[in-house]
Every structure is written in C-alpha cells, then in structure tokens.
Amino acid sequence: MPRPSTGASRLAAIFGLAALLAPTPPAIAQTYPVKPVRIVVSLAAAGGADFTVRLVAQKLGERMKQQFIVENRPGAGGAVGSEVVAKAPADGYTLLVASIAYAVIPSLHKNLPYDPVNDLTPVAVMVNTSNMLVVHPSLPVRSVKELIAFAKAHPGELKYSSSGNGGSANLIMEAFKLATGTDILHVPYRGATPGLVDLLAGRISLSASAVATSMGNVKQGKLRALATTGAKRALAAPDLPTIAEAGVPGFAVDNWYAMFAPAATPHELLAELNVEISKIVYSADLKERFAANGLEPAAEPLAKTSAYIKAETARWAKVVKAANITAE
C-alpha cells in the first residue's frame, strides 16, 4: 500500500488542527444555570400568577440544580416588572412572569422607557384560567341572556369592578360589552380585594373574577355565577356554561400566566426552559394542585408560544382602542 505523500500529510495535519480550533456550538444545556436565577413577577403576591410561579420555580430548582428566586414587582399594569427584565442582561438569569395584562402594555402605555414588543420574548405560557362572570344576588338576573337584557334596559346603571385599567377583569368586561352592545360602568380599584368587598356588599353589580376567588362566595350564596369566560368550561366549575354557550357566540377570554426573557436571550436557552416548564406544569402532582385553584396547564412549544402571545397582543390592541381603555 503506497505511503501518503509529505504534502498530503501536511494537508491532513492542517485540516485536523483547523477542526480542533473551529468554534463549537454553545453547550448551554450542559452549563445553564451556574448561579441563582431571578424571576420577576409583574403582579402582586398572593394572586394566581404568584401561586403558579412559586410552584414552577421550586420544580425548576429541583430539576436544574440551582435556585430560582421569585421577586414581586407590581405596578403600572405590569410595566414596572417588565421594564426590570427588559433591561437585564440576556443571559437567562433574569426572567419575567406576567399575566394577560402583558399583551395590553404596548397599546395602553405610551413613551415607556423600554420597548414592550421588541425588548422581551416569550419562554412559555405556564397555565391559563377562566374568570367567572358573577353578579350580586340582589340583581334580578340568572343567566347571561338575562344580564344582557337587563343591562340594555338600564344603560349605564350597572357597575362592574376590576383591579384596575388593563387588568383581566377590565379586559374581559370591556370585551363583553363590545360583543353584546351593553353599557356597563367600569369602577377600577387598587387590587382585586377592595372590588370584591364592594361587590359582596352590593355596591357593585358584577365582575369577572378568578374562578378560585369566586367559587367560595358562590357556594355560600354571597354571589351568583352566570358563566365562565374561557374557550371551554372550567375544570373547577364544569356545570357552569361558558359565555359563548350562554348566548354570546364566539366569546372566549382565557387569562394566562406566562414566562418571558430579554429578547436577545439565546434560542437554545429559551428552548431548554420551555421544555423544562412544559414537563413541570403537566406533571401529575402540579396538575392536581393547579386544578384545585382553577388553573390548567397550557405550555406549548416555543414557536407556538411566540405566535400565541403575538396574536393576543394584536387582539387586545383592538379592544383597548374600541373601548377607549387608558392607563391609570
């Protein structure tokens, strides 16, 4: 067998050395995280988002062998917490958890010190939840159709409560008003609890509050439930129709809690977090705990997640404009 020429040997050596020196793909999955990860929640503690992210953060820590530290930074309809993460290094060590209100920030807040569309990118929608359309028992309505008829017969007389402009109850009720042609007065509060107090006292006529928050008062007869707001019946209230089933075809609003990261975060890292979160939220023990609080796992692959958030942002921009919702 002929020996290779000296020139061929030199070429082989050169190519071999080049292969050794060539840059290799980043081994993010093998190295992340090497230090604690900060998760900024753009809502107050003790709500659905806080409950969700603390469960997920604990499981992420167990699976990824590092601390995931939750920090609540509410304010300005979620813009305060979002800005913190938008301006953080895009290295996966500062993440954001936000609600459906995230999709409203671009159309509701102007002249922000960050770009709410281009400075953040979705990681995963962790869970979603229906709200429950509830009325005070003194209101003489027992169905969505009766509520619509009463509201049209008494324009501007009914009042609904929300946790503030751009919050889930505000968005749901304004979408409901647009879909039904009704005139119902919005009374914003600083948080959901003060509004609930006035609703229970009869000073407010109705609201679209979280299923977990409403269920106890409904069972005790302090509130009357008419429907849930989501695309399908809520697991926590399977006997209650959706608003679409109850007489407003096509109506569906699911509140959601999702995780985001700075926009320049490497795709490989986003994909890894997406996969881990999906495994966590669909695990049997968390599904059971979510269900007890009116929450349902909703994680999908990264591309579908990005498309969903983009569609939600476009949808709510139309509602904000049509309902003339303004920032507080």
Q: Where in the chain is the domain with CATH 3.40.190.150?
A: 35-128+254-323
Cis-peptide into 122, omega within 30 deg? no
As a whole number of angstroms, the distance between CA 127 and CA 299 comes to: 7
Contact between 66 and 72 under an 8 Å Cβ cutoff? The reply is no
Q: Is 276 left (phi over 0), alpha (psi -120 to 50) or beta?
A: alpha
| Global confidence as pTM | 0.84
As a whole number of angstroms, the distance between CA 107 and CA 216 comes to: 35
Phi and psi for 238 in degrees, rounded to 5? Answer: -65, -20
Give the sign of the dihedral formed by CA 43, CA 46, CA 260, CA 164.
Answer: negative
Q: What is the mean pLDDT of residues 86-110?
A: 94
**CATH 3.40.190.150 at 35-128+254-323, yes or no:** yes
pLDDT tens across 179-219, in order? 999 999 999 988 788 999 999 999 999 999 988 888 899 99
| pLDDT of 169 | 92
Q: Where in the chain is the domain with CATH 3.40.190.10?
A: 130-228
Nearest to 324 by CA among 208, 170, 209, 154: 170
Name the CATH superfamily housing domain 130-228.
Periplasmic binding protein-like II (3.40.190.10)
| pLDDT of 165 | 87
Q: Higher model confidence: residue 291 or residue 71?
A: 71
